A and B are shown apart, each in its own frame.
Chain A
Amino acid sequence: MTREDIIKDENKVYSRPRLLLDATMHYCPGCSHGVVHKLVAEVLEELGMEDTAIGVAPVGCAVFAYNYIDIDWIEAAHGRAPAVATAVSRLQPDNVVFTYQGDGDLAAIGTAETIHACTRGENIMIIFINNGIYGMTGGQMAPTTLEGMKTSTTPYGRRADINGFPVKISDIAAMLDGTCYVTRQAVHTPAAVRSARKAIRQALINTREKRGTSFVEIVSTCSSGWKLSPVKANKWMEENMFAKYPLGDIKNTEVKK
């Protein structure tokens, strides 16, 4: 049997989602962004949202998300994606609007916009990549950096007495009346990927049905920032990140407006 005999449509078991563009990604090996991008593209396609979806990209590693998923995008200023998405969703209620943000963008500089979009119960999905570090700028401390964790601005490890404590922003989001769905997921194993996919699907359906704000945290790895191989980073995440940021649904309810 030759290679050509095998490469046939009837033998195909998997292919790149149509909405995931055939572009070389700038993400480092082992980074969770690529998997999450794929899931978003796959679910948007599955739900028939190619023509109505509008993504709002952050400042951070996902700043170029608009180069990878074939839908309309707005690139927001640092931390302001939920404000941008608020306007888009209110002015164009026929669209399905989502933000895609990292921990620095969402839980440091953009905390006010995050909290208030959730408070108002904006009909948007927020994808929150939590890898506990600023990847794009070279590995500085993030609001979600664990105590003791070394970064370029906490070279001896994060100290609560100097740097404060890591923030569990999803738990805060779950306390707000405007959120209908808050969940914490990961994409480090096939089972976790299936679960994250289900969560993103649920969040996008909530958004289409105008049920309030859906908040999907993905606890992620940053091999470059953590200075660990992709395999070791996954293990480190399981042992350390999940202890602080346990996986699972935090809230799944109906918002009464």
Chain B
Amino acid sequence: MEEDVKLMKGNEALAHAAVRYGADGYFGYPITPQSEVLETLEELMPWETTGMTVLQAESEVAAINMVYGGASCGRAVMTSSSSPGVSLKMEGISYIAAGELPALIVNVMRGGPGLGTIQPSQADYFQATKGGGHGDYHLIVLAPNSVQEMADFVGLGFDLAFKYRTPAMILADGVVGQMMEKVVLPPVRPRRTQAEIIEQCPWAVTGKRGRGHRNVSTTLELQSNEMEKNNIRLRQTYDLIEANETRSEEFMTEDAEYLIVAFGCTSRICRKAIEDARAQGIKVGLLRPITLWPFPKEAVCRLSKQVKGILVAELNNGQMIEDVRLSLSVGSSVPVCHFGRTGGIVPNPQEVIDSLLSNFPQSK
């Protein structure tokens, strides 16, 4: 059967994928550069077809708390926003993590801090991977670098969120959200029925419906010894996720003498830079973290033993570079340098090559 190839924006592909996955609800608030997600969903009117709820909330704060409510019911619910809006959601995300609830949150990053710019950025790396909200928790963070992955990571994000009962985030950037590419949309799946939800999520708040005991979705525990048990249980979940769900991709690393580490749209630019550099005889390869948390520490560590230098390229002043450095073996002497553009500027491949050459002059 011929594949059904479409041309669309990353934000649009993500919206289509949510309906096709069988998501139960989307709650969002307009913000550039991701408003196409809500707009596409409203245009698709999935409540007429799959029965999916789509609601424009009064704020990002309300939207994430709607997600908290829907997730408490065992429903596949999601929200999307961009950097300033995601900051507003952070309290709610902490509650969803604490409540051990599955949910999907999308951040199509723009430049900050503050109101910043509506142009692309990767400056929310720390916020997404180190917690962001209050308390001791992690998100599963997926970093798409194509319109295809904007579509595919909806299903992956929901599946992981339900498997581990923890919120997952798609950390995209303004480039991936706005650019148009060919995409094969994922297959259509039916939404889960109430009976399936009750069977698969016995914790879900559905009304007692003869259950005999009440289900309560809460994040409050005033007894310290009980609260510590909750914290330990979360830690165990995160250990499992780190062991099983770390994802990364390599490009031309087999014989690489230099390594570039980049995610999202920057990884696409770096691929082109690597092809151009190779044409000039520079043996350089790419490691692209697909999960930013859990971070592909082992891949970085393995490749660091093979190369003479590592360049971390990202659209910020140096965030992922900290995780790259932490991934090295104790005593490793491989130099790790940073290349970053900020303010919403997207570099061209030659700038990456120039940075590589200036940081590692011997690579030429």
Contact = CB atoms under 8 A, between A and B. Distances in A.
Interface of A: 50-54, 56-57, 63-64, 66, 70-77, 80, 83-88, 90-92, 94-96, 112-113, 115-116
For chain B, what secondary structure do more than half of its interface residues adopt (helix, strand, loop), or is it mixed?
mixed
B294 interface: no
Nearest to B205: A72
B218 A88 contact: no
12 contacts: A51-B210, A52-B209, A54-B207, A64-B220, A66-B214, A75-B216, A80-B61, A80-B68, A83-B62, A87-B66, A88-B70, A91-B69
Contact of A87 (B25, B59, B220): B25
A90 B73 contact: no
A53 B214 CA distance: 11
Interface string B36-78: 0000000000000000010101110111011111101101010
A92 to B, nearest CB: 6
B208 A88 contact: no
A75 B218 contact: yes
For chain A, what secondary structure do more than half of its interface residues adopt (helix, strand, loop), or is it mixed?
mixed
Size bin of chain B's contact surface: 35 or more
A71 B214 CA distance: 5
Please list the 3 inter-chain residue pairs (A to B) with the smallest Cβ-Cβ separation, ordered nearest first.
A84-B69, A87-B69, A75-B218
Contact of B214 (A57, A73, A83, A87): A73
Contacts of A83: 57, 61-63, 65-66, 69
Given A66-B216, A83-B69, A91 B25 contact: yes
A50 B215 CA distance: 12
A75 B220 contact: yes
Interface string B71-103: 011010100000000000001100100000000
B27 interface: yes
Given A51-B209, A72-B205, A86 B55 contact: yes
Nearest to B53: A90
B218 A73 contact: yes
